[in-house]
Structure 1
Amino acid sequence: SGSACFLNAAVQLLRRAHILRSLLENHEIITNLIPGPKERSLRRLYELIAKTGNDDVIDFRAFLFVFANLGADFLKCQQDSNEAVIKIFEAMLPSEVSSRFSISTFRREKCGVRDDCAGRELPELPLDVGPIVYQYVTTPNQIVDLESRLSAEWKEDMDGIVNEEEIHCAFCCECCSKSPAHIAESCNCFEEKCTKSRQQRFAVGEDAEYVIVPFSIRHVHGRYDWALRENCNLDSIRLFGKAWSAVAIIKHIGAAGENWSYGHYVAYTKEDDGQWWLHDDDKEPQSIGTSYSLRGCYSYSRGETDMEGVTAILFQKQ
């Protein structure tokens, strides 16, 4: 069942999001007496994520039934566990279910001279809303401050987007500050420019209990591994202005590039007994202890958490 490892890891992560089971249990799609292909596929997915014991092994044959309706070539060419999760959210889960995992992204552009400059804000409505907001690992062995990246406060855009465009900032301009009613475009002061800074902030719904944070680690030159900064504790981390703890992780073992991947996917889940469990295809789950502290081949500073090969984390609200 090696070819199904990425599917197994995806389903194990979703299984740990207990709210999915309760949301789907009595949903009309599940209870439909005359189900179509999508309903039958969703029912089987529900049966898989309804497994709760640490000794449960997911049957590979069940994957074929669940994912057969996600696209004719899905099982032939799919190699990314994250994309399997995306497919489930986009093609299988009812919108009212997937919306419980939604993350809203807000962005603004301001001058980079003064911290208190409100600058030119983009529309107040979120530019992006959805359950999947990729975090980009842009350099090998990068140290990621996830609390700053996914903050409810305005923070610098950390996705490696460099924008050297300059703007006229009325807040910094002496002419505009003295005569706020004047039209800058018709004044010579409009030629004065400031470096533009791009900022972003994130929000989740008040009823959000789980969020999925995937990481883009595949690049032209290979897989970029990474680590969490020492201030980011998987057992208690502040994201989106709320406290969370990691309860499931998808990890890639092997080599990968921008458009190719070799190796294996496994999942780690933190169950209600407080133990982290390794799920590796049809092998019996194994406990690795009360913390996720696996070390890769790269040596990080003390306090930083090695996340070698990690492509997704499921967080549960505390």
Structure 2
Amino acid sequence: MKLDGIAAFIAIAEAGSISEAARRLRLSKSVVSDRLAQLEHRLGARLVHRSTRRLSLTEDGAAFLEMASQSLRGLDAAVATLAERRGTLAGPLRLSAPVTLTALHIGPALYPFLRRHPQIELSLELDDRVVDAQAEGFDGVIRHGPMRDSPLTAWRLARSRRVLVASADYLERHGTPRDLAELDGHRGIFYTHRGLADWQFVAASGRVQVRAKVGLQVNNGMVMRDAAAAGLGIAMLPLFIAGPDIRAGTLRVIEVGAEPEEEFIYVAHPEGRNPTAKLRALAECLRDAFGDPPYWEAGCLVDPAN
């Protein structure tokens, strides 16, 4: 039984289609399809229901998937362990990370790491959506947000302070809000994946949610930053995005007597799956590169001790 056939089946099961599995494996669709057919022939069982919409596993396929996944992970871990015994980090590593954070900060930190460890085969998928690390086969998921209870084990990489920002032009036209009550009447620029309930603050009276008027909803932080700089409204942005514009004076920080909910940049991995030395080393690399406090907070007119 060939390992590439088992790997193709696992990729198909995780991706939900042969086309997506082929993309992830960087193979042609016909090759992946042939490997699945050969595996089914070798096993004497149909593993996948084929339809024009989405593939689904047969009962045999679901049973085989669990055992095959464990076996393949075990083999990968064994190969990685031997490499680590020789002082080498090697083998596949599949991560999911946010688009903007990676473009601005994760990428520049990762490139030297990958040069130092050329035997690591990193697959980095950029996506801001919530992903199921276990079901989608990720070794780790890097995200930005509050660290709440989760079936994943999370390692903190850096704190991530968010601030309210707007352009001088917008504040001159609409006034600068001084408290949460005044903020309520302003135009907001919201991140689509978080929704209109994103403006949550920790005040002396407890947790407060503010629902401003919708000026723009968009699923990209850099577009939010540019929209705020263009005077379209107030945005709540992490300093890893807004920092350069705050230092340049393009955006102004708005103080309303309350702090947004505490958030962090973290890497999470499926609970129960032993994290590899590769993932631990990568996390340590990012933690060192970001610093404590993180370098993007410097000069943003915000007291990082708060």
TM value normalised by structure 2: 0.24
User: Going by fraction, where is strand more abundant, 1 or 2?
Assistant: 1
Q: Pick the structure with more helix per residue.
A: 2
RCO comparison, higher one (Cα < 8 Å, 6+): 1
